[in-house]
Amino acid sequence: MTEHFRSLIQNSWDIILVLDADGTIRYVGPSIERILGYKPEDLINQNVFKLAEFYYPHKHTVFREIVNEALSSSNTSIVTECWLRHCDGSRRYFEVIGQNLLDQPSISGIVLNLHDITERKRVEKELSMALHTALEASRVKSQFLTMVSHEIRTPLTAIIGIAEVLKETPLTLEQQKYVNVLETAGNTLLILVNDILDFSKVESGTLSLDQVHFDIRELVEKAIAAAAVRAGEKGLTLTVEIMPDVPSGIMGDPGRLTQILLNILENAIKFTERGEVVLRIKNNPDAKDDEGLLFSISDTGIGISEEKLNTIFDSFTQVDSSIRRKYGGTGLGLAISSRLVNLMGGRMWVESTQGIGSTFYFTIKFGSPSMDDPYIIQGGKR
């Protein structure tokens, strides 16, 4: 058994040390020469703490603690990390596994297994630096987007405002056409800028949510009124089903909920040529408490192919370029909505069959209002 043990540790890629109870080195595996450049015979009968002082001059107390811990009681093991100095002066990092086997007749000693993790540490450091750089770059990009969007919004609002004023003045038919183009293009740009602003706020973590008391039925009624006009123009039926057990008064951000609902409803109407769009709201059967609501918006539209289903929640993603040409849009709406839903403690997903239709689902956790929470009638702000 002893021979078997010796052969195992002699061929080990790790440094293996066997110590007496007082810390004297009785055995050190040959791999120490390859890993740290020292000859094993020079270390035999030395005290491990000298070895530790020798290789690990500044913080040898840490190493001493590790060994002491391993020495302290029988059949205990410890796992930790330390660094030792190579004979060329460089640092090597080790994962240390210490096992007290003093009770065992076959081995009888403290066995320290030192696994060289210098390369792993180097990669970890590089990865952490790369992650830090990437996060910093992403933060700067988001900040830049926020600033630029803000700066564009101000003159854009003036352009749209002036176009509206101009429309009220006597104009020739040709001039009216030009002003209409100006107004439509201005509004499209404003939607895009608002989307970019929202998206960069969500990405940089600077978007804050309101927490106010509102009536969900009232909010849905208002949101649906705008969508119903579009649905009516396309000859689609727009239905809303709110289950009776959905509480009316809830706490949350009504403005952002309206934004999510409108985005999904408008998509459903945009991508449906005939049939219906149905919005259903019920208590989320999967929520642990009764604060979670499950929303679903079903349509009988063009549907989404299976391979595109995974990417439609990514930013600037449209199913293909023909969608952009035919239906317009920026590919930001779902990215923003799904991130807003996440911020509200829920998730968003979709089920869809091409040519049959799609159902977008999302859950949101709302709070229950207390007696002191003022009731907000208007559907919040953006």
Residues of this chain that interact with ligand ADP (CB under 6 A) are 263, 267-268, 271, 299, 301-304, 312, 317-319, 323, 329-335, 358
Q: Is 313 helix (H, G, I), strand (E, B) or coil?
A: coil
Nearest CB to ligand ADP, comparing residues 60 and 201: 201
Minimum CB distance to ligand ADP, residue 197 (Å): 15
Q: For residues 192 and 275, what is the distance between their CA atoms, to the nearest angstrom? A: 29
Say if CB 234 and CB 196 are below 8 A apart.
Answer: no
Task: Give the neighbor-by-neighbor strand order of the sheet with 292-299.
Answer: 237-242, 276-283, 292-299, 357-365, 348-353
Q: For residues 347 and 354, what is the distance between their CA atoms, to the nearest angstrom? A: 23
Residue nearest to ligand ADP (CB): 329
Minimum CB distance to ligand ADP, residue 182 (Å): 22
Nearest CB to ligand ADP, comparing residues 14 and 299: 299
Minimum CB distance to ligand ADP, residue 328 (Å): 7
Say if CB 259 and CB 326 are below 8 A apart.
Answer: no
Nearest CB to ligand ADP, comparing residues 287 and 323: 323
Minimum CB distance to ligand ADP, residue 130 (Å): 30
Name the residue with tokens 């509102």: 214
Q: For residues 269 and 273, what is the distance between their CA atoms, to the nearest angstrom? A: 8
Q: For residues 136 and 124, what is the distance between their CA atoms, to the nearest angstrom? A: 18
Say if CB 237 and CB 276 are below 8 A apart.
Answer: yes
Minimum CB distance to ligand ADP, residue 356 (Å): 11
Nearest CB to ligand ADP, comparing residues 100 and 330: 330
Nearest CB to ligand ADP, comparing residues 100 and 318: 318
Token representation of residue 188: 């499209």
Minimum CB distance to ligand ADP, residue 207 (Å): 17
Token representation of residue 133: 């750089």
Nearest CB to ligand ADP, comparing residues 149 and 358: 358
Nearest CB to ligand ADP, comparing residues 259 and 267: 267
Q: For residues 112 and 104, what is the distance between their CA atoms, to the nearest angstrom? A: 15
- Amino acid, res. 96: V
Minimum CB distance to ligand ADP, residue 209 (Å): 20
Minimum CB distance to ligand ADP, residue 239 (Å): 15
DSSP bridge partners of 238: 277
Nearest CB to ligand ADP, comparing residues 98 and 303: 303
Name the residue with tokens 């076959």: 106
Q: Are strands 15-19 and 237-242 parallel, antiparallel or unpaired?
A: unpaired
Nearest CB to ligand ADP, comparing residues 29 and 301: 301
Q: For residues 245 and 290, what is the distance between their CA atoms, to the nearest angstrom? A: 10
Minimum CB distance to ligand ADP, residue 228 (Å): 17
Torsion sign (Cα): 59, 60, 61, 65 = positive
